[in-house]
Amino acid sequence: MQKLVIEKTSSTPYIHFDGDAGYLQIKGESYPENVAKFYTPILEWIRNYLDQESKEMTVEFKITYFNSSTSKVFMTILDLLEQGVIKGRKVSVKWMCDEDNDIAIECGEEFKEDLNQLPFTVEVVKGEE
């Protein structure tokens, strides 16, 4: 699969999806005016990857801020990944956040609670952007 790279803007995160490496990174802030339009290509990539590729997939969120519409899309992403795990795919998710970002930590913990099969870790680090 080709790579998907979307550069960050003032309201959208940096997206790096390397299908060959099985790696997806979502990094930055997310409060786009049209959440569905922004995230549709990423959702399609995830679906295609899970349908076509058999290798392990690692997803890394490094989100400093996101709005409620983005939260719903993140849950959709996590649900897709969990369905992949249920179907026998090896997928893991890291939710990385700064120790001073209590909201990001809490959101990561809430996402984790909603998942039953998907390996999901919340990694709190010092000085993360």
Per the CB < 8 A criterion, the answer to whether 56 and 88 are in contact is no
What does the pLDDT read at residue 94? 97
**21, 26, 32, 34 alpha-carbon torsion, rounded to 10°:** 40
Rounded CA separation 94/26 (Å): 11
Rounded CA separation 123/46 (Å): 23
Q: Which residues contact 87 (CB under 8 A, 6 or more apart)?
A: 50
Counted domains in the chain? 1
Radius of gyration of the chain (CA): 14
Domain range for 57: 4-125
Question: pLDDT tens for residues 83-127?
Answer: 999 999 999 999 999 999 999 999 999 999 999 999 999 999 887
Rounded CA separation 24/49 (Å): 11
What does the pLDDT read at residue 128? 52
Residue 38 CB coordination number (10 Å) = 20
Question: pLDDT tens for residues 23-60?
Answer: 999 999 999 999 999 999 999 999 999 998 888 999 99
What does the pLDDT read at residue 87? 92
Per the CB < 8 A criterion, the answer to whether 38 and 12 are in contact is yes
**pLDDT greater than 70 at residue 1:** no
Per the CB < 8 A criterion, the answer to whether 94 and 121 are in contact is yes
CATH code where residue 45 lies: 3.30.750
